[in-house]
């Protein structure tokens, strides 16, 4: 599906007969090809059931379609009166021709049309014969539009975008509160449905973040926090709707690509330990200083999480109160050791992510 996309770019130009360069906004266009398929060629593999802002049901779900090895999600219109309607291809073409910068135009790039220009200002590069161009963003903007077009897919007339890091996952949020009637702390949790890209790799924790096909593990964790009773059925979302408000329906399990990896989160924790103890390490016993230096040097050298885990365990074994008769420091060290032990156990019990196959070198010419 061929689309001509006009755009505005910035250029530094010295017009003919002038000495000083000026910054101008000039117009150009690029022709792109947007792939189009039928609904049968790009079937729905995931369906994210959503609620409105006030918690009501009935909001249209987000349907993930697969074409080849890629997932695609709808491009929704930007109008507040119909925020959940996918953009039609004809609407996108009209928005692109008008240079709109909203969600209706996923091909927008370059400068917006909100700048002021005088009637006699040049509109395109052709209006500047003999001018010297010192810099121009024309090719860069055109390349950006081509890249955006390559990430679009038209399915039965509706526009979809390649879902990079947009696979849905479940995020568990535990919380506590004090119940005055019972006179003690209570705990519970709720579960958010988020896209994977919204959570940095170092913040992904196997205790809180789950693939959407791990709903049984999610509900077991929620039950441990007292959020659901034992009567839940992972095949019936109504039995756990008070915890998982936006469940994801899985039509094709092979569409799920996320593999939990506790390594980045563990490395972040180890870095926090190093930073926290940095100020006091100079006065620590010799064994603790050596263990700290080994851990620090390994982190600086980019060691893998497994190696860092062993070194952190060795460092934790050297921790001791500054004074034997100081109850505060004894409690502090005990808590620090317990925290480290918990993170080490979590890392070692976490699934091991699949390693890519090593490259095989062939004969060199």
Tens of pLDDT, residues 187-219: 888 899 999 999 999 999 999 999 999 999 999
Same domain, 36 and 7: yes
Residues with Cβ within 8 Å of 207's Cβ and at least 6 positions away in sequence, in order, are: 172, 221, 346
Mean pLDDT lowest among 109-113, 278-282, 287-291? 109-113
Residue where one domain finishes, among candidates 106, 129, 162: 162
Same domain, 244 and 272: no
Res. 362 pLDDT band, cuts 50 70 90: very low
Is 154 a residue whose pLDDT tops 90? yes
Same domain, 186 and 141: no
Annotate 24-81 with DSSP letters as a single string: EEEEEEEEEE-EEE-TTTS-EEEEEEE--TTS-S-EEEEEEEEETTEEEEE-B---TT
Average of per-residue pLDDT across 23-28: 85
Which two tokens mark 19? 């000495």
229 within some domain: yes
Is 134 a residue whose pLDDT tops 60? yes
Residue 339's Cα: distance from chain center in Å? 27
Is 102 a residue whose pLDDT tops 80? no
Q: What is the pLDDT of residue 363?
A: 43
Of 26 and 294, more confident: 294
Res. 132 pLDDT band, cuts 50 70 90: confident
Q: What is the Cα Rg of the chain in Å?
A: 28
Res. 54 pLDDT band, cuts 50 70 90: low
Q: Which residues of 18-31 are buried (b: 16+ CB within 10 A; e: fewer)?
A: eeebeebbbbbebe
354 within some domain: no
Q: How far apart are CA 343 and CA 345, in angstroms?
A: 5
Name the burial class of residue 231, with classes exposed (0-12), middle (13-18) and buried (19+) by CB atoms within 10 angstroms of its CB: exposed
What is the number of other CB atoms lying within 10 angstroms of the CB of residue 256?
A: 19
Res. 355 pLDDT band, cuts 50 70 90: low
Q: What is the pLDDT of residue 178?
A: 81
Q: What is the pLDDT of residue 233?
A: 82
Which two tokens mark 42? 């790009």
Of 249 and 103, more confident: 249
Same domain, 18 and 156: yes
Percentage of the chain beyond pLDDT 70 is 89
Q: At what angle do helices 286-300 and 305-318 cross, to 10 degrees?
A: 160
Q: Could you identify the residue written with the tokens 């095949």?
A: 235
Same domain, 59 and 105: yes
Give the three-state DSSP class for 127. Answer: helix
Of 146 and 351, more confident: 146
357 within some domain: no
Is 260 a residue whose pLDDT tops 70? yes
Res. 133 pLDDT band, cuts 50 70 90: confident
Least Cα distance to 167 among 73, 266, 279, 60 occurs for 73
CA 30 → CA 140, 198, 200, distances in Å?
A: 11, 32, 35
Q: Give residue 111's domain range.
A: 2-162
Q: What is the pLDDT of residue 114?
A: 54
Residue where one domain finishes, among candidates 128, 162, 196: 162
Same domain, 13 and 150: yes
Same domain, 235 and 341: no
Assign residue 255 a region (left: φ > 0; alpha: ψ between -120 and 50; beta: otherwise): alpha
Q: What is the pLDDT of residue 211?
A: 94
Q: How far apart are CA 32 and CA 151, in angstroms?
A: 11
**Cα torsion 266, 316, 304, 214: sign:** negative
Please state the domain count of the chain.
3
Least Cα distance to 218 among 195, 237, 196, 197 occurs for 237
Residue 57's Cα: distance from chain center in Å? 26
Of 68 and 99, more confident: 68
Res. 117 pLDDT band, cuts 50 70 90: low
Best-predicted range by mean pLDDT among 110-114, 142-146, 351-355? 142-146
Average of per-residue pLDDT across 285-312: 95
363 within some domain: no
Residue where one domain finishes, among candidates 122, 141, 162: 162
Q: What is the pLDDT of residue 361?
A: 44
359 within some domain: no
Q: What is the pLDDT of residue 25?
A: 84
Q: What is the pLDDT of residue 41?
A: 93
Res. 121 pLDDT band, cuts 50 70 90: low
Q: What torsion do the CA atoms of 130, 136, 141, 142 make, to the nearest 10 degrees?
A: 40
57 within some domain: yes
């Amino acid at each position: 599906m061929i689309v001509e996309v006009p755009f505005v770019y910035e250029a530094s130009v010295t017009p003919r007969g002038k000495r000083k360069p000026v910054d101008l906004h000039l117009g150009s266009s690029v022709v792109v090809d947007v792939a189009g398929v039928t609904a049968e060629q790009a079937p729905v593999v995931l369906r994210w059931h959503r609620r409105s802002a006030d918690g009501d049901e009935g909001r249209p779900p987000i349907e993930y379609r697969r074409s080849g090895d890629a997932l695609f999600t709808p491009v929704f219109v930007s109008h507040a009166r119909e925020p959940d309607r996918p953009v039609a291809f004809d609407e996108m073409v009209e928005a692109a021709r008008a240079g709109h910068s909203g969600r209706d135009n996923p091909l927008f790039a370059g400068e917006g049309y909100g700048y002021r220009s005088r009637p006699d200002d040049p509109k395109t590069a052709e209006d500047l014969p003999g001018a010297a161009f010192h810099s121009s963003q024309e090719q860069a903007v055109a390349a950006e539009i081509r890249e955006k077009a390559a990430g679009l897919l038209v399915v039965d007339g509706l526009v979809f975008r390649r879902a990079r890091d947009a696979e849905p996952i479940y995020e568990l949020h535990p919380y506590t509160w004090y119940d005055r009637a019972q006179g003690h702390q209570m705990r519970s949790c709720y579960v958010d449905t988020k896209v994977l890209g919204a959570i940095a790799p170092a913040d992904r924790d196997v205790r809180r973040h789950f693939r959407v096909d791990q709903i049984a593990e999610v509900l077991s964790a929620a039950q441990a926090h007292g959020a659901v009773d034992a009567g839940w059925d992972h095949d019936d979302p109504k039995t756990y709707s008070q915890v998982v408000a936006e469940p994801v329906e899985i039509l094709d399990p092979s569409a799920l690509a996320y593999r939990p990896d506790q390594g980045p989160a563990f490395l972040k924790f180890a870095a926090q330990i190093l930073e926290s103890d940095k100020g006091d390490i100079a006065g620590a016993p010799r064994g603790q200083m050596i263990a700290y230096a080994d851990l620090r040097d390994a982190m600086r050298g980019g060691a893998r999480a497994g190696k860092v885990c062993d070194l952190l365990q060795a460092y934790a074994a050297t921790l001791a109160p500054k004074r034997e008769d100081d109850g505060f420091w004894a409690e502090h060290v005990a808590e620090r050791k317990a925290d480290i032990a918990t993170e080490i156990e979590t890392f070692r019990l976490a699934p091991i992510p699949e390693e890519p196959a090593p490259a095989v070198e062939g004969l060199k010419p």
